[in-house]
Amino acid sequence: MPSNKSVSDAPIFQFTNCRILRNHELQREDLWVREGKILNPEKLFFDEKASADIQLDCKDSIIAPGFIDVQINGGFGVDFSLATDDFKSGIDLVGQKILSHGVTSFCPTLVTSPPSVYHQILPQISVRNGGAHGAGILGVHLEGPFISKEKKGAHPERCLRTFEAGAFQDLLATYRSLDCVRIVTLAPEMKRSSEVIRELTKRGICVSLGHSVANLSQAEEAVQQGATFITHLFNAMLPFHHRDPGIVGLLTSDKIPAGRRVFYGMISDGIHTNPAALRIAHRAHPKGLVLVTDAIAGMGLAPGRHTLGQQVVEIDGLNTYIAGTKTLSGSVATMDTCVRHFLEATGCSIETALEAASLHPAQLLGIEHEKGTLNYDSDADFLMLSDSLCVQATYIAGEEVWRRNAPGM
């Protein structure tokens, strides 16, 4: 078939001998890519009369959208909540390292910190596309400091704040800038939180409920004001109670505005939630489940002492605690590990496990037309995986950015 280059001179890549995750199922078909986007082969054949310039045999791999981690505090010795002179090189290092775990986009997460830390760090983070340099940055997740003292978890109590008369102005003074902020976790039972939720939502910032003692009606009110996410479900919130299920009750609430979906993060590392709790949440509201790592600086490093913002944490196996306590403080799990654990713990389909780390976080952030799927015209951020969901290769904008056992990787 003659190639017609009138549309673009860029090469057309055809990935063959693979199973593609599309429309919620693995389909045996080829994946076509040009200029970083996924192509519709019918348009290519019939409109352009074009064919592939380069064919790649995927050797029966699964091809799935790249993973999106919306809660990651650091890793590989880098702590996103520590202001350092070389902060940019630290975030670059994490972005590079997580490619091998299938993460193609992420939200660097800052835990509760003094205002001076936000003022120093936030200007150093900018939204950017991914590539060979590392995973793309979608914006910052600010977890705190407007959270409950009773459910502070690993957050330093001395840095917690409440909303005073100014409410939203208090938040702006604390963070100084919202330019690169994508998610804010707050406790909805705080006075004046409704006003803050409305203002953040108006600016396109996702509001997440977490580190909270809110009852169900307070959580429902927050959702009615615009909140759409729950930070690490079950962790750092009131336990489910049959007379008032608290934030957990949002999963089956009948007070969610029409056409809206509440999403919830889960740390599927076998430590933060019992497999039975994971199964309960998934069966109650499967389309809202978003896998997050909540990884800390110690991810990828040997057990020992590391930091999480203002706190010292100890890693013991897969457990991470605030030093000298038994308070859990983030995880050292990688995203591909979380996906495999979720699949095993719930007995869900491979498609469901993969979408919890790709499609659902994209839907949460409203970017499902660009990322989180392999639909035509979406970004060609994808993974090659084995049947056991081990990452074989990672692609961003159609270019290979990591491959298992590749020279120099």
Which residues are catalytically annotated? 294
Nearest to 107 by CA among 78, 80, 145: 80
Cβ-based neighbour number of residue 366 at 10 Å: 11
Has 128 been labeled as part of a binding site? no
Has 227 been labeled as part of a binding site? no
Has 236 been labeled as part of a binding site? yes
Q: Do the Cβ atoms of 408 and 104 come closer than 8 Å?
A: no
Has 150 been labeled as part of a binding site? no
Task: Return all residues near 133 (Cβ < 8 A) that are at least 6 apart.
Answer: 92, 95, 96
Cα(53)–Cα(394) distance, rounded to whole angstroms? 21
DSSP code string of 311-323: EEEEEETTEEEET
The CA-based angle 257-71-244, given to 5 degrees, is 45
Has 272 been labeled as part of a binding site? yes
The CA-based angle 302-266-357, given to 5 degrees, is 85
Residue 243 C-alpha from the chain's centroid: 32
Cα(361)–Cα(69) distance, rounded to whole angstroms? 8
Has 330 been labeled as part of a binding site? yes
Cα(361)–Cα(389) distance, rounded to whole angstroms? 19
Cα(322)–Cα(210) distance, rounded to whole angstroms? 19
Has 8 been labeled as part of a binding site? no
Q: What b-and-e string marks burial along 83-99, b requiring 16 or more CB atoms within 10 Å of the CB?
A: beeebeebbebbbbbbb
Has 154 been labeled as part of a binding site? yes
Has 211 been labeled as part of a binding site? yes
Q: Hey, which residues does 404 pair with through a beta bridge?
A: none
Q: Do the Cβ atoms of 77 and 295 come closer than 8 Å?
A: no
CA terminus-to-terminus distance, the chain: 37
Q: Output the known binding site for Zn(2+).
A: 143, 211, 232
Q: Output the known binding site for substrate.
A: 154, 235-236, 243, 272, 328-330
Q: Output the known binding site.
A: 143, 154, 211, 232, 235-236, 243, 272, 328-330
